[in-house]
Amino acid sequence: MSRADGLKRRKIAVLGSRSVGKSSLVLQFVENNFVESYYPTIDNSVSKKLKYGGKEFECEIIDTAGQDEFSIFNAKHAIGIHGYVLVYSIATQSSFDMIPIIYDKIVDFCGVRDIPCVIVGSKMDLQANRQVDAAAAEALAQQSNAAYIETSAKNDVNVAKVFELCLAEIEKKSAPSSPATETKGSCSVM
């Protein structure tokens, strides 16, 4: 979607288990700030301009409340969303186990096989507490045809890269020959 000012708008939803650092990732990206204290999120939306591939995009980022396996998938997290950032913490195996569950819920809801998606291993500064091998996450990303990266919102490592990768996935999968451009069911991955 383009606007009169020439900016392309892209809507990105950030999903994952509770307390994996979704809000911290978004806060670091948008405001260059990190807070140690934990405040559970109720859905929140922020915007930031980002240059990618020589074009300027206005990214609307939906920071969601944490999900668990019993959460019912919220239509707000699919309709009009162009791409997904799925976050787990490298220090919490159960948060990694949630990633394929969330991915499958998105695929089921949207009715498309291949969604623009980045799998993010957060809190990479907590190496001493690592429970999830990078190799396992890479394998999952390959299976899901998603991009993969590890980040630290605390130390501002690879934070902007997450959103650049997401834009890259969105642009790649919105190429005319891509099956992800199909509109099926109640939402479209554009």
Ligand X SMILES: Nc1nc2c(ncn2[C@@H]2O[C@H](COP(=O)(O)OP(=O)(O)OP(=O)(O)O)[C@@H](O)[C@H]2O)c(=O)[nH]1
Tell me which residues touch ligand X (CB under 6 A).
Answer: 18-24, 35-38, 40-41, 65-66, 122-123, 125-126, 152-154
Q: Which is nearer to ligand X, 95 or 188 (CB)?
A: 95
Contact 90, 121 (CB under 8 A): yes
Q: Which is nearer to ligand X, 91 or 146 (CB)?
A: 91
Q: Which is nearer to ligand X, 18 or 130 (CB)?
A: 18
User: At closest approach, how far in Å is the CB of 87 from ligand X?
Assistant: 7
Q: Which of 120, 125, 121, 118 is nearest to 154 (CA)?
A: 125
End-to-end Cα separation, the chain, in angstroms: 9
Q: Which is nearer to ligand X, 129 or 186 (CB)?
A: 129
Query: What region, left, alpha or beta, does residue 42 occupy, with left being phi > 0 and alpha being psi -120 to 50 degrees?
Result: beta
- As a whole number of angstroms, the distance between CA 163 and CA 51 comes to 10
User: At closest approach, how far in Å is the CB of 175 from ligand X?
Assistant: 32
Amino acid at 115: I
User: At closest approach, how far in Å is the CB of 91 from ligand X?
Assistant: 8
Three-state DSSP state, 58: strand
User: At closest approach, how far in Å is the CB of 38 from ligand X?
Assistant: 4
